Amino acid sequence: MSSNDEGSISETETRGYRVTHNKTDPGACRHGNFINYYQFHPAEERLRQLPRGVWHADPTDRKYVGLDVGCNAGNLTLALYDFLRANIDDSSSDNTDLSLLGVDLDPVLIERAKEGNDPNTGRDVTYKCMDFMAAESSGVIDEFLTSKGRDLFDVAFCFSVTMWIHLNHGDSGLVQFLRSVCEKTRIILVEPQPWKCYRNASRRLKRANVADFPMLQSLRYTGEMDTHVENILTEHCGFDKLTESGNNDWGRKLLIFKRKQTKCDNLIDLNE
Ligand SMILES: C[S@@+](CC[C@H](N)C(=O)[O-])C[C@H]1O[C@@H](n2cnc3c(N)ncnc32)[C@H](O)[C@@H]1O
């Protein structure tokens, strides 16, 4: 960690990737890497929105393998693990090997996640620090899948992460992100942030005297973010909608989609 000119910002650099934490306002951050996220959004409360009956393990395989993208300090990842343990739907769920991979670009959060992952609980949860948008991320994902004898995850969770990808990588980055996740999973769950959160994120940066998101003004996917995410997944990633939840207390819903083809085709031109 080191201080920069702004004094209140600390930076951490891992594998060439730099993230910042604002000490005066921990809510002013560029990637949603809030250090105190679960004080405000308790993980257990968020499980209430999850439907039952969509978490099917293949009975011949007897494995259920999940990915949590943007796992922060791992609190929700562990809660998801316990939820899946109780809700995987197969004829012999007690015998299903459940494993989860949580990834986040912030090394401090990943360290915390590892510290909170008590090996005595018997949960098979692995955490890796990586930027999902970086080229080398697919190697980390593939290595994990191979270690589980798989090509695909059964489920990939994307809770409250799409806005940060969108703000930092633009419309094409959002599409690329969803395509990349879809290429690696049978089911994808997305909890998109409503558009007003984009404005709030920008306002907090400005208030903390930090440069705004440079791509914010050029975004074409604005307004109804749930609809944009749904259109990208169904029209450009080869997924069908399975179900969606109602809004939670802070106006977010869960959208769940299922792969309809073996490969993502019908892809759009990212340069258009
Ligand atoms: C608002 S938090 C949500 C945490 C968790 N998914 C939840 O909903 O409880 C967003 C997380 O996504 C992570 N993140 C943002 N962009 C990322 C990227 N490109 N690759 C990996 N993680 C990312 C941030 O570091 C942060 O921990």
Give the closest residue (by CA) to ligand 1 atom 27: 72
Q: Which of 15, 30, 72, 215 gets mutated to test ligand 1 (max ligand atoms within 8 A of its CB)? A: 72
> What confidence score (pLDDT) does residue 251 get?
86
Query: pLDDT band at 24, cuts 50/70/90?
Result: low
> What confidence score (pLDDT) does residue 27 get?
66
Q: In angstroms, rounded to a whole number, what is the distance separating the alpha carbons of residues 192 and 198? A: 11
Q: Are 6 and 210 in contact (CB under 8 A)?
A: yes
Mean pLDDT of the chain: 88
Q: Are 30 and 213 in contact (CB under 8 A)?
A: yes
| Residue 104 CA, ligand 1 centroid: distance in Å | 6
> What confidence score (pLDDT) does residue 10 get?
42
pTM for this predicted structure: 0.90
The residue among 54, 50, 67 whose CA lies nearest residue 142 is 67
| Residue 7 CA, ligand 1 centroid: distance in Å | 24
**Residues in CB range of 104: below 8 A, 6 or more apart:** 33, 70, 71, 72, 110, 113, 127, 129, 130
Please list, residue by residue across 178-216, b when 16 or more beta carbons sit within 10 angstroms of its beta carbon and e when fewer do. Answer: bbbbbbbbbbbbbbbbbbebbeebeebbeebebeebeeb
Give the closest residue (by CA) to ligand 1 atom 3: 160
Pocket of ligand 1 (CB under 6 A): 31-34, 37, 70-72, 76, 103-106, 109, 131-133, 159-161, 164-165
**Residues in CB range of 128: below 8 A, 6 or more apart:** 101, 102, 103, 110, 140, 144
Q: Are 68 and 79 in contact (CB under 8 A)?
A: no
| Residue 201 CA, ligand 1 centroid: distance in Å | 14
Please, where are the H alpha helices in the chain? 37-40, 43-47, 75-87, 107-115, 137-147, 162-182, 195-207, 225-231
Torsions phi, psi for 260 (to 5 deg)? -110, -15
pLDDT at 185 over 70: yes
Mean pLDDT of 125-145: 97
Give the closest residue (by CA) to ligand 1 atom 5: 71
Identity at 184, one-letter amino acid code:
K
The residue among 118, 103, 111, 184 whose CA lies nearest residue 148 is 184
Question: Which is the closest atom of ligand 1 to the Cα of 169?
Answer: 19
Q: Are strands 17-22 and 239-244 parallel, antiparallel or unpaired?
A: unpaired
Q: In angstroms, rounded to a whole number, what is the distance separating the alpha carbons of residues 63 and 95? A: 8
Q: Which of 158, 164, 181 gets mutated to test ligand 1 (max ligand atoms within 8 A of its CB)? A: 164
Using a 10 angstrom Cβ sphere, with 0-12 exposed, 13-18 middle and 19 or more buried, the burial of residue 167 is buried
Q: In angstroms, rounded to a whole number, what is the distance separating the alpha carbons of residues 188 and 258? A: 7
Percentage of residues in the chain with pLDDT exceeding 70?
84
Query: pLDDT band at 19, cuts 50/70/90?
Result: low
Q: Which of 15, 36, 103, 161 gets mutated to test ligand 1 (max ligand atoms within 8 A of its CB)? A: 161
Q: Which of 17, 105, 176 gets mutated to test ligand 1 (max ligand atoms within 8 A of its CB)? A: 105
Tokens of 216: 């914010």
Delineate the domains of the chain, giving CATH numbers in brackets. 43-259 (3.40.50.150)
| Residue 141 CA, ligand 1 centroid: distance in Å | 16
More confident residue, 162 or 268: 162
Task: Give, in order, the Cα–Cα distances in Å from 89 to each of 117, 145, 199.
Answer: 25, 21, 40
